[in-house]
């Protein structure tokens, strides 16, 4: 019994500091209809194993994606059709980057790194909601999927119910 109680205390202590353990976005909020520099902070590998690939899915309504190259990492982009057409500096855009992947590097579990891309948040996105960028972190051993998106009604918060939440940014009204 006592061992279980101890285990519970330890678990509770771990659970109290989830933000450190997750892949998160550096800037926690951004206005719609503006550029957003998305910085994905990768604080550790998958259960101790070094990270070898980071894949980010671009949510609908986010266009003009320009990832920042990283020394030692190969940059790949997947393009595809958007669900709808967007206005981008007067031009109509209906397709673009839907997924960005950095691979070939090796980020030790002991180290920290950031993966950066510039994006444009179209004003079709709803202010006062959280926009999620699902991330798949692939390691030498294992995969961590930071893809959990709270269902409507539940506020994002961090780690509400999920141990692998997708990194998110709170959207503000157009400034």
Binding site for another protein (CB under 8 A): 4-5, 7-9, 11-12, 15, 55, 57, 134, 136, 145, 147-148, 151, 161-163
Pairing of strands 91-107, 74-88: antiparallel
At residue 53, what are phi and psi to the nearest 5 degrees? -155, 140
CB atoms within 10 A of CB 15: 11
Shortest distance (Å) from residue 153 CB to another protein: 11
- Comparing CB distances to another protein, the nearer of 37 and 145 is 145
73 versus 132: smaller Cβ distance to another protein: 132
Nearer to another protein, 11 or 27 (CB): 11
State the minimum distance, in angstroms, from the CB of residue 134 to another protein: 4
Name the residue nearer to another protein (CB basis): 161 or 173: 161
Who contacts 114 (Cβ-Cβ below 8 Å, separation ≥6)? 26, 39, 40, 41, 42
Least distance between another protein and beta carbon 144 (Å):
12
CB of 173 to another protein, least distance (A): 28
The secondary structure of residue 165, as a DSSP letter, is B
User: C-beta of 10: minimal distance to another protein in Å?
Assistant: 9
Nearer to another protein, 145 or 170 (CB): 145
Per-residue 3-state assignment (H helix, E strand, C coil) for 38-91? EEEEECCCECCECEEEEEEECCCCEEEEEECCCCCCEEEEEEEEEEEEEEECCE
């Amino acid at each position: 019994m006592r061992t279980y109680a101890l285990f519970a205390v330890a678990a509770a202590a771990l659970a109290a500091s989830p933000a450190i353990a997750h892949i998160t976005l550096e800037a926690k909020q951004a206005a719609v209809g503006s550029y957003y520099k998305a910085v994905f902070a990768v604080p550790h590998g998958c259960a101790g194993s070094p990270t070898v690939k980071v894949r980010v899915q671009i949510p609908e309504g986010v266009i003009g994606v320009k990832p920042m190259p990283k020394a030692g990492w190969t940059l790949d982009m997947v393009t595809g059709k958007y669900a709808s057409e967007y206005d981008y500096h007067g031009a109509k855009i209906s397709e673009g980057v839907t997924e960005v992947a950095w691979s070939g590097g090796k980020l030790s579990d002991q180290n920290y790194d950031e993966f950066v891309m510039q994006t444009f948040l179209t004003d079709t996105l709803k202010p006062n909601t959280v926009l999620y960028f699902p991330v798949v972190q692939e390691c030498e051993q294992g995969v961590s999927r930071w893809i959990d998106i709270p269902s409507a009604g539940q506020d994002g918060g961090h780690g509400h119910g999920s141990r692998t939440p997708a990194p998110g940014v709170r959207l503000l009204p157009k400034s």
